[in-house]
Amino acid sequence: MTANNRVIRRRTILRSAAGASALGLVGVTGSAVAQPPSHAGSGSTCDHTVEPGDSIQAAINAADDGDTICIEAGTYEEDLNITRADGLTLRGKGSDVVTIDASGETGYGIDGVFSNDAWGADITLEGFTLYGPRQGTSAQNFGLKVSYIDGLHIEDVVVRESRRSGIDVFPATDVTITDSRSIDNDANGIAVRNASGVTIEDVHTENNAWGGLALYAPGDESVSNVNVQQCSFSNQPAGVYLEHDDYDNISVRDSTFTIPDTVPGQWLHIVFAGGATGRIEGNDLSGAHRVGILARGEGTEVTIRDNTIVGTGPKTDGWAENGIQIDQGATATVSRNTVADHWWDNTSWASTGILALGDNIKIQQNEVLGNDVGVWLDHDNCHLNRNEIVVEADGDFPGFDGVVVEGDRNRLINNDIVGDPDAFSGILLWGSTGTKLINNRIEGFQMEIERFGDEGTILPPPFDPAA
């Protein structure tokens, strides 16, 4: 195969976009999910008890600092303002038996907005379902909004059907959200802005129009020390996304991200951008996605390890999927991931398992299986070490290449690169210079190594990719 008859396909890249939601994405609505089991709360002392027919707000107005308000099973049609006392605990019998219905209200469902001059402290909300407001403007109708808070604990709370985000926290320190759900809201399931010390654990978000969890840091604001673990994110344009410019020590671990195989937009599972640092580790991502994990922008530096990212397999319409994409100045260490089933049957574009569009990216010990292109190195000084890369044909979908190298001074060492006989090349050197290939095992392709304008490739003598 020569340069004259070789059809070069461009890798497909998710370009930047703008909009009110994550990267300008549009969401959908969907069906409900099962409620969590009854939860009696972490304590039994009640300073005030509210029963059906009573007003929760009246009990809040009568509360002193540190009081606990217990809410008996039933439905309460009201919105609430919880800024009356520090250390307030609002404890329902359980999200399956206590409903606060604010759907007929025009403001926030639960208003916990303190002030910059007088922050609130140590608020606990437990054991109820909140139907968010839908009668005001979309900018007003947050379900649960807490601002200027130092110490917020949310447990066994379900927020549904707000015209804005279900749970919105800004600014805040020392926040824990656990064993909770945010579903069918018209913006984000959970939004956190200008905050530090945030733990989100065992939380489920689904069918939210913008995304599951959004972290915002516009202007001089910042978000730091955020730990997301053992959560699930389903059927949303973005599972977890970071927007703006100042993020530090963000961790997304041991969580599940699912999107139906057929969706109306270019959806994403996890987005780290804006100079974010942190880890994406041990997650399971499946279903249709434009990109499974995206690291983007100058200063973004992330470890991506032990994740499983599975695409929808061969497709002929919509858009080409990529498993992991690092671009626009971001750097990453990508290790011990399984990236599979990203295919695109088109003569102009290709889906890629791992797409490295930045310098100094380390890709090591990954299983990259059944993708149109296994790994694409577009920039310089990247290291591809000890990976298993398998390109297989699937009916009318021939594999393309194991590894494509466009940048300069990249290193490919000790990789196993296996292809179907219909696949083109094990390693395609496409205008690269100074590429170093050492001890790579290549088999099954039409060509082991193919060159287009490559200069200065360093191979162990003799010219033997298996040496």
Q: In this structure, are residues 145 and 108 in contact, taking their beta carbons and an 8 Å threshold?
A: yes
pLDDT tens column, 328-337: 999 999 999 9
pLDDT at 376 over 90: yes
What global pTM score does this model have?
Answer: 0.89
pLDDT bracket for residue 238 (50, 70, 90): very high
**Per-residue pLDDT at 348:** 65
User: How far apart are alpha carbons 341 and 347 in whole angstroms?
Assistant: 18
- Report pLDDT for 136: 82
pLDDT 10s digits, 382-432: 999 999 999 976 656 566 899 999 989 999 999 999 998 888 899 999 888
Model pLDDT, residue 433? 86
38-47, 111-120, 286-295: least confidently modelled range: 38-47
- Which range has the worst mean pLDDT, 8-17, 52-61, 95-104, 310-319? 8-17
Q: Is residue 67 very low, low, confident or very high in pLDDT (cuts 50, 70, 90)?
A: very high
* Long-range CB contacts (within 8 A, 24+) of 43-48: 43/68, 43/89, 43/91, 46/70, 46/91
How many residues are there in the chain? 467
Give the pLDDT confidence score for residue 423 in this predicted structure: 85
409-428 CB burial, b ≥16 within 10 A, e <16: bbbbeebebbbbebbbbbbb
Question: What's residue 239's pLDDT?
Answer: 97
Q: Which of 75, 26, 81, 29 is nearest to 54 (CA)?
A: 75
CATH for the stretch 10-28+209-452: 2.160.20.10
Name the average pLDDT for the chain. 87
Over the stretch 302-312, which tens digit does the pLDDT of each residue have? 999 999 999 98
What residue spans define the domains of the chain? Answer: 10-28+209-452
**Which single residue is written with the structure tokens 């940048």?**
407
pLDDT band at 460 (very low <50, low <70, confident <90, very high): low
Average pLDDT over residues 237-260: 94
Strand ranges (E), 132-184: 144-147, 149-160, 167-169, 172-183
Closest CA to 58 of 84, 35, 89, 34: 84
Using CA atoms of 358, 361, 367, 373 in order, give the dihedral in degrees to the nearest 10. 30
Phi/psi-derived region of residue 325, left when phi > 0, alpha when psi is between -120 and 50, beta in every other case:
beta
Per mean pLDDT, which range of 270-284, 309-323, 353-367 is the poorest? 309-323
Average pLDDT over residues 336-351: 84
Indicate whether 8 pLDDT > 60: no
Question: If pLDDT is split at 50, 70 and 90, which confidence band does 39 have?
Answer: very low
Q: According to the model, what pLDDT value does residue 454 have?
A: 64
Average pLDDT over residues 326-351: 89
If phi > 0 it is left, if psi is from -120 to 50 it is alpha, else beta; for residue 163 that is alpha
What is the mean pLDDT of the segment spanning 119-133? 97
The sign one gets for the Cα dihedral 123, 127, 133, 138 is positive
When pLDDT is averaged across residues 91-103 and rounded to a whole number, the result is 98
Say what the pLDDT of residue 103 is: 96
pLDDT at 37 over 50: no
Look at residue 41 and tell me whether its pLDDT is greater than 60. no
pLDDT band, residue 313 (cuts 50/70/90): confident
